[in-house]
Structure 1
Amino acid sequence: MKKKTLVIGASLKTNRYSNIAINRLTMYGHPLVAIGLKKGEVAGVEIDTEMVDYENIDTVTLYLNPQRQEEYYDYIISLKPKRVVFNPGTENPEFYKLLKENNIESEVACTLVLLGTNQY
């Protein structure tokens, strides 16, 4: 099943993991939206610079350090995703707790590995 995914921390730089993840998610056919610091496009996906009220988000995959995540707590919870993937370097026990309180699964994993091993 294809899972609509929101990438937060999207980068236009091709060597960034968020950029690679956008390309890979697109390659695997997952519907995708993205938020980053700079507007642009990666693999045909427009990068928004503001918190858009997206609908039907299954998975949020984070590419922001824990301090930068704080401003997104309420936003992510309001989207009611099924899960939030914390990629390496984004681990955040404070946010895990908030997600659990709102019945949202948190997964400490690498989106690229999950895709590559058919666990996404």
Structure 2
Amino acid sequence: RCLCSTTPSDGYFSIVGTNREGRAIYLDSQATTPLDPRALDAMLPYMTGMYGNPHSQTHSYGWESAEVVDTAREQVASLIGAHPKEIIFTSGATESNNMAIKGVAKFYHPKKNHVITT
């Protein structure tokens, strides 16, 4: 049971005292995160026809994909008041955690030589 009382103004993720389409409320976002329908609508064209590797800079598919990723980075940065260069997209939690741990380790390296994680 969720005791959270914070609800976005549009009600998309209102979870207090409700269920979604007769199903239990899913709270295991470490495994899979429910996708907001607006995000799906925005992503669908790039998953079905305008796909390309944004790291491939030798053809138009890569250029178009890189532009879309850069636009998304700018939008996220604007939303949270950050600079676009501060936004890093990763493949998931493991890569994100490793990046954070390695960053802390590198920062403290001259003084500390051990990192312990669980």
Computing the radius of gyration over CA atoms, which structure comes out larger, 1 or 2? Answer: 2
More helix by share: 2
**TM-score normalized by the length of structure 1:** 0.25
More strand by share: 1
- Higher relative contact order, chain-length normalized (CA < 8 Å, sep 6+): 1
